[in-house]
Structure 1
């Protein structure tokens, strides 16, 4: 879930060549390094390291040195000992969960009574606790000599690829987020037996140290930097220096307390600073790898250098950065609305679903749905769009807080002066007079939602919409598909085959890919094939708590209808309205309650929380 990307070029229809894999199975940068010049520091960057205050550089150098020693200690720990360390981290996160959620909400302008403050419980401590639990479970399995997916069901997709049924992973998953399932699809040619053998990544060779990794943290969602550090440690045996995005500096104290069990022995360090600190670190010779959650513009600046000099270097194909780099960079996410026989209740519920995909965190999420595709041949199109407008208008107002959001919205209003305004929110309906290019290629990273028309009904619409998403929308991080159970049954295998053609790293069918982010056993990242020259939505994956190798994508499936309308009419769910819906009346109470249940397993309190969920 990235910081905002500037307007990106349209991605080509042709499938990109896959990126190379590292020894531990994760995609990394593929550009060859320049010829050696004789010293290690000269290998790291073509340009001279940036100037920075001596006291700051000395402190950063000391952190890297401490991590180098910590990495040696980490490589001596058994897998069981690593699971114990993560257990201590879990205890620390649980202890400071309330401070974390309250601090994060305040930093985004949400007071203690704001109805959307629950987002900071779910996207912060809840996601972190879930991720830690899943990683500990995988480590426990490996320590016992088993595969993390020993007892996980697999199946084959229409293309013959192995699908690992990774979610729900626990009974708690199935209870709290009932009705949602998720699969991790592996790359073509990988067998189920190979998947079981290779699950574990670097923990299959735990004494092989991965060096020191640099994690450039996201600025929008508070669990991202913490979960990225965990993935460095477990998937790659890399200790890590985490540089916070300045938007999260207020959480430095909380993060240091939460990660104290990793900081004290030298496995993690956390620093703050502006762009000069980031530039100094990316040019530092002490790192074996860089991971960034951010924008394609920032990624390119790191890899090729800033300004005109960076563009010239990119044109020659000689990067400034020769350290391997991975990144999650966002894009323009589609919401494909398949025509079908919807009731008025369906129209209203799915309209709120669409609005939630856009307005969570005020639109400051790389996975926010941005382009809604509807068919002009759908007899209920106008009714659905009317429901979207109602939901857009009634969702609680909140600050548009992310830096440069006003400039991003200005791009939208300049390109589409007839856009409808709902306070700070924009709704753009593309018609024959409009050029959709700006909407298709600019990740607005703010409350801007667009609507486009795609011809057809049934299978023809699905195929046309997938072609549109693949060929016209920037990025490959996440795509959402809404389809009623009657239409899905009529399409049958044709629908499943069409989904295999949707080139996105995360796909949600009757769900939102933001859910995939908090489901730790699913993977998170762009569709494979981006390169340094055309980085798109990024290179590599994170989360992936089952530690699967050769991951292609994750596919989430949810209920088309909530309880009680889910009874006998679609995939069953006990949730009347998911707590992440921006229109949920009890979102804050339920989100906090779910998090506290993960912490203490207090069934009596959970009963009260579930009662609140029924009033959503």
Structure 2
């Protein structure tokens, strides 16, 4: 069941239950999408840009209610850091719109999107494209931040260069229907997923909201009314039963989800022992195209270097603060520090992180299963530090230090702690270069997931050619 956002005299409230989508409603939505999928596939670029412009005009009308509903659902206060986190989702939506619009203009003018930064080739022949900052606005908003895409080794700058905008160069386009199973944690991810399917892959979308944040559904429907009214997007609600009906429907060509690996594998292989056997045999029961973003135990490799006391203090706050946004219910939240065992500042850094977290306000652990998962980690690591002053419904900031790296079956290496928990392990190495190699091998080979990883290195360390090459 979902909820509407209603406005009282002083604040928004998440209330007024709405029933889940019935089978008839789901059929009706899929019929609408099927009737319009070819029109969307064949729509010209100016028509797509006009829809993006209309979305940009409509979204400001839902901003205030979006922020208020998120704060209400998570029991957070206005004018707080938590409100900033909610605004982040709104800003991400506008960034999607801005980048998609520019990409479409580039396709119209040049045949493909313009890569915003330098394109280079690594010594091994791998093509690298700088994609952040995207423009001068991002350069000002994100000073010192740069992001690159390292291409698949098969990509070459010869024979047409980097492949881009393949949908827009396809002849005889055929419409397709995609079911998007929306993320339950960060609202901004939801339009990111369905806008990618719409504007990059050219598919119409049946969006099934996650029960955790389905209160955003009516707001998304209002903000994206332009594509809904045109028959290219439909919003649907409730849980696993509705999701199963949609993904198995003969009108549906593909599925995308943002969620847990357990949900993904249950869909792909089926539940229980039979599903486990299918997974082992690599024989999926679900055979439609199925893309997913499934989270990660995000490692942070801390490279030893000439850190001052101020450096340790600053990096302790920085590393600790990465755990804080959205009650740590983020797929890219750093979860595991990897340090060099004999580094002289290792324990100082751990102590600094613990001291920082001890003084940070805890938040509601709103994601289902958080308390049970937290207890699983405590059962295996009763020595874990539990920090902060959690209220009812909150979890403490939890820090597990000195995890044995030789115990590959330890829960901290195998299970994503999708709540407010950090772990730390340390590797033996004779020098910094050897440590970097071992840490990378450990993160890639022993730690679950492949979504994101971070490396923290002192600028002076990068002046050592051996360290710079290893990084």
Shorter-chain TM-score above 0.5: yes
Report the counterpart of residue 400 of structure 2 in structure 1: 428
Residue 319 of structure 1 pairs with residue 284 of structure 2: yes
Report the counterpart of residue 222 of structure 1 in structure 2: 187
The number of aligned residues is 444
Report the counterpart of residue 97 of structure 1 in structure 2: 63
8 A contact 1:459–1:495 mirrored in 2: no
Report the counterpart of residue 506 of structure 1 in structure 2: none
SS of the aligned residue for 2:179 comes to: strand
Residue 137 of structure 1 pairs with residue 102 of structure 2: yes
SS of the aligned residue for 2:337 comes to: strand
CA shift for structure 1 position 195: 6.7
CA shift for structure 1 position 432: 5.6
1:438 to 407, 411, 419: 411
Report the counterpart of residue 11 of structure 2 in structure 1: none
CA shift for structure 1 position 357: 2.2
Q: Distance in 2 between matches of 1:256 and 1:416?
A: 44
Q: Distance in 2 between matches of 1:398 and 1:161?
A: 43
Structure 2 gap segments, 5+ residues each: 1-18, 389-395
Describe the superposition over 1:201-237 as per-residue Cα deviations: whole angstroms up to 9, x where unpaired.
3122386134000100110010111110010012211
Residue 111 of structure 1 pairs with residue 77 of structure 2: yes
Residue 470 of structure 1 pairs with residue 444 of structure 2: yes
CA shift for structure 1 position 196: 4.7
Deviates more, 1:230-239 or 1:299-308: 299-308
Residue 57 of structure 1 pairs with residue 23 of structure 2: yes
**Correspondence 1:260-271 to 2 at 5 A:** 260-271=225-236
Report the counterpart of residue 188 of structure 1 in structure 2: 153
Q: Distance in 1 between matches of 2:310 and 2:278?
A: 55
Q: CA RMSD in A?
A: 2.1
1:451 to 413, 419, 424: 424
Report the counterpart of residue 396 of structure 1 in structure 2: 361
Describe the superposition over 1:282-329 as per-residue Cα deviations: whole angstroms up to 9, x where unpaired.
211111110011111111111122223333444554422121101100
Moved over 4 A (4+): 193-197, 431-436
Residue 258 of structure 1 pairs with residue 223 of structure 2: yes
Report the counterpart of residue 357 of structure 1 in structure 2: 322
Q: Distance in 2 between matches of 1:433 and 1:133?
A: 44
Alignment TM-score, normalising by the size of structure 2: 0.89
Describe the superposition over 1:352-384 as per-residue Cα deviations: whole angstroms up to 9, x where unpaired.
221122222111111111110112221222221
1:279 to 217, 238, 244: 244
Q: Distance in 2 between matches of 1:450 and 1:82?
A: 46
8 A contact 2:127–2:150 mirrored in 1: yes
8 A contact 1:459–1:491 mirrored in 2: no
8 A contact 1:239–1:267 mirrored in 2: yes
Report the counterpart of residue 328 of structure 1 in structure 2: 293
Report the counterpart of residue 290 of structure 1 in structure 2: 255
8 A contact 2:45–2:108 mirrored in 1: yes
Describe the superposition over 1:413-459 as per-residue Cα deviations: whole angstroms up to 9, x where unpaired.
00001111114121101256994611111101011110111123421
Q: Distance in 1 between matches of 2:280 and 2:302?
A: 40
8 A contact 2:194–2:207 mirrored in 1: yes
8 A contact 1:149–1:196 mirrored in 2: no
Alignment TM-score, normalising by the size of structure 1: 0.69
SS of the aligned residue for 2:257 comes to: strand
Taking a change above 3 Å as real, the CA distance of residues 260 and 295 of structure 1, as seen in their structure-2 partners, is same
8 A contact 2:354–2:387 mirrored in 1: no
SS of the aligned residue for 2:80 comes to: coil
Taking a change above 3 Å as real, the CA distance of residues 207 and 350 of structure 1, as seen in their structure-2 partners, is farther
8 A contact 2:42–2:173 mirrored in 1: no
Q: Distance in 2 between matches of 1:300 and 1:54?
A: 24
Deviates more, 1:348-357 or 1:148-157: 148-157
Report the counterpart of residue 160 of structure 1 in structure 2: 125
Q: Distance in 1 between matches of 2:398 and 2:377?
A: 8
Residue 86 of structure 1 pairs with residue 55 of structure 2: no
SS of the aligned residue for 1:58 comes to: helix
2:339 to 369, 374, 386: 374
CA shift for structure 1 position 341: 0.8
CA shift for structure 1 position 64: 0.5
Report the counterpart of residue 575 of structure 1 in structure 2: none
Relative contact order (alpha carbons < 8 A, sep ≥ 6): 1 or 2 greater?
Answer: 1
Report the counterpart of residue 375 of structure 2 in structure 1: 410
Taking a change above 3 Å as real, the CA distance of residues 413 and 199 of structure 1, as seen in their structure-2 partners, is same
Report the counterpart of residue 461 of structure 1 in structure 2: 435
CA shift for structure 1 position 71: 1.1
Taking a change above 3 Å as real, the CA distance of residues 472 and 144 of structure 1, as seen in their structure-2 partners, is same
CA shift for structure 1 position 185: 1.0
Taking a change above 3 Å as real, the CA distance of residues 145 and 115 of structure 1, as seen in their structure-2 partners, is closer
Taking a change above 3 Å as real, the CA distance of residues 171 and 250 of structure 1, as seen in their structure-2 partners, is same
Report the counterpart of residue 8 of structure 2 in structure 1: none
Report the counterpart of residue 43 of structure 2 in structure 1: 77
Report the counterpart of residue 484 of structure 1 in structure 2: 458
Q: Distance in 1 between matches of 2:283 and 2:345?
A: 53
SS of the aligned residue for 2:453 comes to: strand
Taking a change above 3 Å as real, the CA distance of residues 381 and 312 of structure 1, as seen in their structure-2 partners, is closer
